[in-house]
Structure formats: C-alpha cells, structure tokens
C-alpha cells in the first residue's frame, strides 16, 4: 500500500502531518482531540542513483510521535530510514526503534545515555550494496550542533562539526536489520526541542546556590520510565554537570538516590513535594538536610510546567520524615544577593544617577538623583561606566576617558580616591565597564591592544590581580558580567568576525580545584545562534538577556539559556537598545538605553516606557 493510499484512509481522522521524505515512517497523535494520525511509506526502487534523504522538518511540541515497525521484507534503505525516524518517537524505551536492529544490537543498545543534536537532521547514503558479502552499509551524516551527555548537560559544538557514522546491516531470519546502531540518540534540533525541555538543577558553590542547566524528557523517560519531575530530581542526585563540577558540590551524601521503584513524586494538599530517599541519607544532620531540601525546592520550582511547590519534605529509607524546608527557609539557605533598591545609569553630563525601584508606576515616578558619596561631592569627575556592589554601599566607576578604575563609598562623602587600576589604552580600547561578583570581588578587562588583560580586585580594595583566561585564542574581552552566584563570567569576546558571547567558569584556589590562583576556564559559547552580540546581562533563573543580531536578521533582545542551547522569549520593541540590564528579582523591570529614548524600563507584563530622557550604561547592582 503506498503512502497516498494510506494517507487517504486517515483523512477522516484528522489532517496528515509530518510526512518526512519519500520513506518517512512516522505516526503522530495530537494531544487533545485530533486522535491518532498515521503517515506511511511509499515504495521506492531498489536500484539506480542513491540520493540523500532530508530528515526532520519539525513537529509541533504538542504532537506525540510514534514510530512505525518495519514492514515484512523491507529493503535495507527502508530499514535505515525507518530506524532513523523511529529514534525521534515518543515510544517508551524505544521499543519500535529496536525492532529495526538485530537481536544482539537491540539487547545492548543504550541510547538514553547521550544525545547528539544536529542542525537539520541526517542525510544518509548507501556505501555498500545489499549483494555485498558483508551486507549493506550506510553512511549517515549531518552538522553536529551539540551533545547532551550522560548527566543531561547540553554542550554546544563551536562551529558545528560534521557528524558521521556508519550503519552496518545484516540478515536475521531473512529480514534486513541494523547490527551497528549509533551510540547515542541522533536528533535534529526541532525533534530535540519537541522531546526534551530545559530545567535548572541547583548546587552550592561555597554557601551560594548556583543553577546547573540540564535537559529532561518532556514525558516519561524511555529508559527509567520516570516522569519529568522525577527525572529532574534523579539528575540532581547524580551530581553537578562536568562543566560546573569543579566549582560546585551537592549537599546529598555520595550514593544518595530515590527509594527503589520510585517513578513519580507525590504532592500533598499543602503543595508539599514528598521525596523518598535511600539509606545513604538516613543519618544526615539537620543543617545538611536543610541544604539538601533547599537544592530540591529550587530545582523543582524551576521545572517548566510543575505545579506550585511551597515546601519539600525528605524521607528516610524506612519512610520516616528526615527534614523539610519551606520557601522562606530555602531562600535563607540559598544565600542569594538581596533584591536591589535602586537602578543606576550614567547621564549625559557623565554623572552616576540612580532611580528608586519602589516607584515603578508612571504616576509615582521619582526623578533621578545623583548617586551619593564622593561622586556627588565631586561633580567635575566624569564617569564613563559604573558597577554597584550588592548591598549598594560601594560603586566602581571607570573614568570617561576609559583609563582609570575607581572604587567609591556610597555611604560617605569625601574626595575622590586614587585609581586602583590605570590602562595605557585609549578609548575605545581601554577599560571595560566593571562588574562585582557575589563574593565582593571586582572584575574589569583592559582592552589595550598591546596588553589585553582580565583583572580581578579582591574584595574591591586589594591589589589588582591578572586573571588567566583559558581559550580566548587571540580574542579580546570587550565586555564582561559576573553571575550573581559568582562562579561564572559572561564575556563578549571581540574576534575577527565580530563580538561573540562566551561563559567561563571561575575557579578559585581551594582543595577541590587544586588551583593556586583565580582563573577562568572552559569557555563555552552562550549565544551560538547570534551572528553578533552587542550587549548582555544576567537574568532570572541563570539565564542571559542578550542584545544581538542573528544571521541576516535585525538587532533584538532575547533571553538565552546559559548553556547556549536555546533562544527563549524575546523582548517586544527592543530593536533600538544599545545596552540592557536585568536582575535576579523577576518583579523588577528590565532596564535598557537607546539613543532615541534614553533610559527605558520594561516592567513585568507592561510596555516599555522612558524613565530618564538621555543617559546610557544602565546597571543593577552586581
């Protein structure tokens, strides 16, 4: 039966979606009322020219996809195409995909341990005919976008390396089957985004909670059969990702897992998540248990689509209560920076101004006021850029000529202090805007072309220290921003092709890292979709707010996941932004600046509005 005949038979059930190439073997079930929709395969000659078959064209995330088993006496080409399609299905435990494999390969195939993400699916070519004594052999190729490792962490591939793998077929019971399947699931970007969803799990870096982004299945995991919440908790218990591992740790004892047989986690009537653990956690002390529960509460609250969680309760292996933590208690344990009281910017007269964040309604708008302290007492000093420390008691400013870095106290007046650091470069190749981290250290980059350097000022008062950045490869740091947790540094790196956004891991001397000095390591692209990035800021839940341009597109502001995996929501009407600032507190407005409107705010659920005519370089504390 050909594809058109089979399609005609299902038109009474619903519209046919997703027929993908001349041999696409796929079935779809629209969630809701559409019912089961089938897409069959068309017959194809087994001789003549072999051409690549383009894979996935993308499917709505609300559509469930099921693989179709191999037909009797299917040709080698049909087996390969059917298998590659079945890999993209929502089939529990990939049972349909395994039917395309030999018995031994089906038994040993463990695709759930990793995922290879391709930009636009696979091309496949026959490299050996079916009359070859060794059996038919097919080469599958594509542009590798990223990999998802065994700890569910997304790792983008800079430049998009070529993916290539060979599938060897063999006859078994007079049927062609694949004897050498790929070592991982191989998915197009659209299929990956349909099947997986991002979530942050949380660990401690020192006493501060830090987000570790991972991906879990949208529905039940094929291997464990766990629902998304349980998958996420299981991933949390397994420990931080390889990238974050050197600077973060888990409060859970080594070997802690969910109680055997746990496939879903229960909520009670008071929005409490109940989490049963194995005996590795039976004897932990209450302070440690409180930190464990804090990690869980923040992780589950971040999970897309999860119900409201006000409390987490942990249980021992004998089902007795171990400890619990409320949302308020977890906030104390997380040790996050205090919400800002003001937003700051530099006005047209090169003075540092601040706006009251409590007055965020048009009829209650306060007028900008000069930042207190030596800057207000010395109005002849010209500020180029600034950063305000968490707690808003100190500010770091770079002079208008870009050469001098100063730290001033915002609680006392007096003369301007001497510069902590002086650059030999001239604008625009002098000092970048500074940034504070949660530990109270100050960071700034010198763009001097003769000696580009990343500097760290310990405590904001010590002697500036040079910081090694591994992986810059001749690039020059044009802007930087420390994350609120203090263990990541976002950097705009100027290269030959423009400015690209990278995130580096900040390693400090301690027993875990073995480092003798502070360094920034393992740079990874944070906005590979952007052809050029103009400005950025850290945003709530470990995301980035990026102003940039996609290839062939207009400048726009978008939220990005910090692992470089996905472009999230964009900001409306943001094409004219030159700079942007956000804060961890989602109730505070996004702040931007533009040549036409000056300083603008975007409060949650509202529209952009001008709060100060003229001005630039808006910042929140940090």
pLDDT digits (tens, 9 = 90+) for 356-396: 987 445 444 568 999 999 999 999 999 999 999 999 999 99
Residue carrying the six token digits 């969803």: 197
Q: What would the mean pLDDT of 21-49 be, rounded to a whole number? A: 35
Q: Are strands 609-612 and 616-619 parallel, antiparallel or unpaired?
A: unpaired
* Gap between the Cα atoms of 464 and 16, Å rounded: 64
SS3 74: coil
CA distances from 400 to 350, 382, 433 (A): 7, 5, 11
- pLDDT reported for residue 63: 59
Q: What would the mean pLDDT of 481-499 be, rounded to a whole number? A: 90
Top-ranked range on mean pLDDT: pick from 32-36, 113-117, 476-480: 476-480
* Gap between the Cα atoms of 17 and 64, Å rounded: 11
pLDDT digits (tens, 9 = 90+) for 409-433: 999 988 999 999 999 988 888 999 9
Give me the residues paired with residue 365 across strands: none
- pLDDT reported for residue 371: 96
- Residue 90 binned pLDDT confidence (cut-offs 50, 70, 90): confident
The pLDDT > 70 percentage for the chain reads: 84
Q: What would the mean pLDDT of 490-507 be, rounded to a whole number? A: 91
Is 431 or 196 the better-scoring residue by pLDDT? 431
State the DSSP string of 119-163: SS--EEEEEE-TTSTT--EEEEEEEEEEEE-TT--EEE-TT-PEE
- pLDDT reported for residue 105: 96
Q: What would the mean pLDDT of 474-486 be, rounded to a whole number? A: 93
Q: What would the mean pLDDT of 560-568 be, rounded to a whole number? A: 82
* Gap between the Cα atoms of 2 and 525, Å rounded: 46
pLDDT digits (tens, 9 = 90+) for 235-256: 999 999 999 999 999 999 999 9
- pLDDT reported for residue 512: 65
- pLDDT reported for residue 56: 39
Q: What would the mean pLDDT of 585-590 be, rounded to a whole number? A: 91
**Residue 51: is its pLDDT beyond 60?**
no
196 alpha carbon, distance to own chain's centre: 13
The pLDDT > 90 percentage for the chain reads: 56
User: What pTM was estimated for this model as a whole?
Assistant: 0.83
* Gap between the Cα atoms of 313 and 296, Å rounded: 9
pLDDT digits (tens, 9 = 90+) for 262-306: 988 878 878 899 999 999 999 999 999 999 999 999 999 888 555
- pLDDT reported for residue 603: 92
- pLDDT reported for residue 111: 80
- pLDDT reported for residue 24: 38
Average pLDDT, the chain: 84
Burial 351-365 (b: 16+ CB within 10 A, else e): bbbbbebeebeeeeb
**Residue 342: is its pLDDT beyond 90?**
yes
Residue carrying the six token digits 């726009």: 556
- pLDDT reported for residue 555: 83
* Gap between the Cα atoms of 580 and 57, Å rounded: 35
* Gap between the Cα atoms of 594 and 600, Å rounded: 8
Contact (Cβ atoms closer than 8 angstroms) between residue 408 and residue 383: no
Q: Are strands 465-469 and 519-525 parallel, antiparallel or unpaired?
A: parallel
Rg of the chain taking only CA atoms, in angstroms? 28
Domains and CATH numbers, the chain: 3-195 (no CATH), 200-334 (no CATH), 342-619 (2.120.10.30)
Q: What would the mean pLDDT of 204-216 be, rounded to a whole number? A: 92
**Residue 219: is its pLDDT beyond 80?**
no
Instruction: Encode 158-197 in three state secondary structure.
Output: CCCCEEEEEEEEEEECCEEEECCCCCCEEEEHHHHHHHEE
- pLDDT reported for residue 130: 58
* Gap between the Cα atoms of 553 and 464, Å rounded: 40
């Amino acid at each position: 039966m050909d594809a058109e005949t089979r399609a005609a038979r299902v038109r009474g059930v619903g519209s046919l979606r997703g027929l993908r190439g001349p041999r696409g073997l796929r079935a779809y079930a629209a969630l809701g009322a559409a019912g089961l929709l089938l897409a069959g395969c068309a017959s194809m000659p087994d001789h003549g020219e072999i051409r690549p078959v383009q894979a996935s064209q993308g499917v709505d995330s609300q559509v469930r996809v099921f693989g179709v088993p191999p037909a009797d006496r299917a040709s080698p080409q049909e087996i390969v195409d059917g298998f590659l399609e079945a890999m993209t299905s929502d089939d529990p435990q990939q049972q349909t995909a395994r039917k395309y494999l030999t018995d031994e390969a089906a038994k040993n195939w463990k695709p759930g341990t990793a995922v290879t993400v391709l930009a636009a699916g696979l091309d496949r070519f026959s490299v050996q005919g079916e009359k070859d004594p060794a059996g038919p052999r097919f080469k599958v190729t594509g542009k590798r976008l990223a990999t998802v490792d065994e700890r569910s962490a997304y790792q983008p591939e800079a430049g998009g390396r070529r993916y290539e793998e060979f599938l060897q077929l063999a006859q078994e019971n007079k049927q062609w089957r694949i004897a050498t399947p790929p070592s991982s699931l191989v998915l197009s970007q659209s299929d990956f985004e349909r099947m997986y969803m991002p979530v942050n799990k949380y660990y401690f870096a020192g006493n501060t909670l830090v987000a570790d982004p991972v991906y879990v299945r949208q529905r039940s995991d094929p291997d464990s059969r766990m629902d998304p919440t349980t998958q996420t908790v299981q991933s949390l218990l397994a420990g931080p990702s390889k990238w974050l591992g050197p600077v973060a740790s888990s409060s859970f004892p080594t070997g802690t897992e969910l109680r055997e047989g746990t496939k879903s986690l229960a909520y009670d009537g008071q929005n409490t998540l109940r989490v049963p653990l194995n005996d590795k956690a039976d004897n932990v002390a209450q302070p440690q248990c409180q930190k464990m529960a804090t990690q869980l509460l923040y992780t589950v609250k971040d999970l897309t689509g999860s119900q409201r969680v006000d409390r987490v309760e942990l249980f021992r292996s004998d089902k007795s209560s171990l400890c619990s933590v409320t949302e308020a208690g977890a906030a104390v344990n997380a040790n996050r920076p205090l919400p800002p009281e003001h937003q700051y910017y530099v006005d047209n007269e090169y003075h540092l101004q601040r706006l009251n964040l409590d007055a965020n309604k048009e009829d209650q708008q306060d007028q900008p006021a000069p930042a207190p302290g030596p800057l207000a007492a010395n109005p002849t000093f010209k500020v180029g850029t600034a950063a305000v420390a968490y707690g808003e008691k100190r500010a770091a400013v770079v002079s208008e000529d870009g050469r001098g870095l100063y730290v001033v106290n915002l609680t006392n007046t007096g003369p301007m202090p001497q510069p902590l650091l002086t650059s030999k470069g001239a604008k625009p190749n002098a000092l970048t805007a500074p940034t504070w981290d949660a530990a109270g250290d100050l960071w700034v980059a010198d763009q001097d072309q003769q000696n580009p350097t990343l500097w760290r000022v310990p405590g904001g008062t010590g002697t500036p220290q040079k910081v090694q950045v591994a992986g810059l490869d001749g690039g020059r740091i044009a802007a930087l921003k420390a994350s609120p947790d203090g263990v990541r540094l976002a950097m705009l790196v100027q290269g030959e092709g423009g400015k690209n956004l990278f995130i580096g891991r900040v390693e400090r001397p301690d027993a875990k890292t073995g480092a003798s000095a502070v360094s920034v390591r393992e740079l990874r692209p944070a906005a590979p979709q952007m052809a050029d990035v103009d400005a950025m800021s850290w945003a709530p839940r470990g995301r980035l707010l990026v102003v940039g341009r996609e290839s062939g597109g207009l400048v726009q502001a978008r939220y990005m996941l910090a692992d470089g995996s996905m472009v999230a929501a964009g900001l409306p009407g943001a094409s004219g932004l030159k700079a942007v600032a956000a804060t961890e507190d989602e109730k505070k407005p996004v702040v931007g600046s533009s040549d036409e409107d000056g300083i603008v705010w975007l409060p949650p659920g509202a529209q952009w509005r001008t709060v100060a005519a003229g001005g630039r370089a808006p910042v929140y504390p940090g």
